[in-house]
A and B are shown apart, each in its own frame.
Chain A
Amino acid sequence: MFCEKAMELVRELHRAPEGQLPAFNEDGLRQVLEEMKALYEQNQSDVNEVKSGGRSDLIPTIKFRHCSLLRNRRCAVAYLYDRLLRIRALRWEYGSVLPNALRFHMSAEEVEWFNHYKKSLATYMRSLGGDEGLDITQDMKPPKSLYIEVRCLKDYGEFEVDDGTSVLLKKNSQHFLPRWKCEQLVRQGVLEHVLS
């Protein structure tokens, strides 16, 4: 039946849990576009026949193929747009630099879209006020205290705090650091917030 491949694309995204980005199904998209091309060509020849030969019994078939074409387009655009929304969420979660594993799941055009989005978001944040603007991707949760206890999960190296003292972040070392400095690293997975 028509539109099977398009439905599969949509189902694939529907099955992936919220926020996760499965690999870009280039093959699937290509098959959908080919099906659309075939349907369109069949419709073209039928329309010519109706116009010249007066075979009006072909009209329902033409209408049916047109509906399939619309449905295919709708599924394809929904698939692509939903992936864009998930990629946008990645910028807010991981910051400007995406982990490599995720980058392999994105197509080249998606990477380009992501770069454009990053740039326009950065321009907006810089224009917010003062000289450097306000980084609104920080401060995701209301602050409970000024300093937090963190444990280091991976080796990161030297880390400088506001008043100049630098801290060596080695695996499994615990530190008591100002919250706003650590938030970025906690999101990246380098530090872990220790509660208790």
Chain B
Amino acid sequence: MGGGNLVRRARERSRRGSARPGEPWGRLFRGRVLLPKLRCFLTLPRLAACPLGCASAALVPRYLVSEKMTEELDHTGQDSDADSEEVVLTPAELIEKLEQAWMNEKFAPELLESKSEIVECVMEQLDHMEENLRRAKKGDLKVSIHRMEMERIRYVLSSYLRCRLMKIEKFFPHILEKEKTPREGELSSLSPEELIFAKQYMANTETYLKNVALKHMPPNLQVVDLLRSAVPKPDLDSYVFLRVKERQENILVEPETDEQRDYVIDLEEGSQHLIRYKTIAPLVASGAVQLI
């Protein structure tokens, strides 16, 4: 009888699959339940009821406040606090934004907008998690799982920043040229630190080339125009895969060869396409499509 009950309970548990919200951590690791994706843990509402102690509650910073960047409409020196919007993001949403920015940056041929607010928030999160982990009990299984998640987040963040640095170094004359001309309503594609890095890189390379070779060349050849001749431009005509997040209508596709004419297409939500980057560049910036 008892044996039958046990068997029934075990079968019930395994049929349920992943843990229900509010279920204490303790039950997750006994029986054959699937471990849900770690991200969801961060937003489970009733973790505070965990019988394993308040260490787990302290491990979960629940909400993050990040300020959206606003455009400077007037410079009358007024306190702009009232104008700036505050967007409340849960940690799960923040990580998802980071992953989206990461994938977009990886597959786009040119340098995209700088998402420094996401970077800052993620760094803050990582510091917070590190602090909490240090206070938690040693040898607890949760500690190693959270640490693993921290490693993964750190990898995504590092990869994103590395990708941006590589693009900056590859196309530095064109990027710096674009920064010089003031544009209306467009956000800068370089954060202030990246701008400093790019300028130093340019100065470094120019000084090197001048001292080693150009100084010794005939006077009319001493200036090499890096912008036009030496460093190639980003290839905006390369093809990219994308998934449509918001329905778009009337996208004008320009012809590649002279025989074709331009035509207009509609992008359905959820559909996936292979298209030239130049056509959909503004949609990537606005977040309407996701590069895959």
Chain A residues proximal to chain B, CB less than 8 Å? 29, 33, 36-37, 40, 69-70, 73-74, 76-77, 80-81, 84, 88, 107, 109-110, 112-113, 116-117, 120-121, 123-124, 127-130, 134, 136, 138-139, 141-143, 145-146, 179-180
Contacts and interface: CB of A to CB of B under 8 A. Distances in A.
A29, A136, A180 interface centre (most CB from chain B within 10 Å): A136
Contact of B197 (A123, A130, A142, A145): A123
Interface in B74-124: 119-120, 123-124
Contact of B119 (A80, A110, A128): A128
A129 B118 CA distance: 11
B208 A142 contact: no
Contacts of A123: 193, 196-197
A146 B196 contact: no
A138 B148 CA distance: 15
Size band of the interface chain B makes with A: 35 or more
Given A120-B197, A128-B161, A142 B155 contact: yes
Given A88-B169, A139-B158, A36 B218 contact: yes
Contacts, number: 103
B169 A143 contact: no
Given A80-B208, A110-B208, A146-B151, 12 more contacts: A37-B216, A69-B218, A81-B205, A84-B208, A88-B169, A107-B212, A116-B204, A124-B197, A128-B119, A128-B123, A128-B193, A136-B158
A107 B183 CA distance: 42
5 contacts: A76-B213, A117-B204, A123-B196, A130-B127, A142-B152
B161 A116 contact: no
Contacts of B200: 116, 120
Given A80-B208, A109-B212, A128-B119, A73 B155 contact: no
Contacts of A136: 158, 161-162, 165
Interface in B178-236: 193-194, 196-197, 200-201, 204-205, 208-209, 211-214, 216-218, 221, 224, 229-230
The dominant DSSP class at the A interface is helix
Given A29-B213, A116-B200, A130-B123, A143 B152 contact: yes
Contact of A143 (B119, B120, B155, B214): B155
Interface string B129-166: 00000000000000010011001101101110110010
User: Which of A33, A81, A129 has the most C-beta atoms of chain B within 10 angstroms of its own C-beta?
Assistant: A129
Contacts of A179: 151
B198 to A, nearest CB: 9
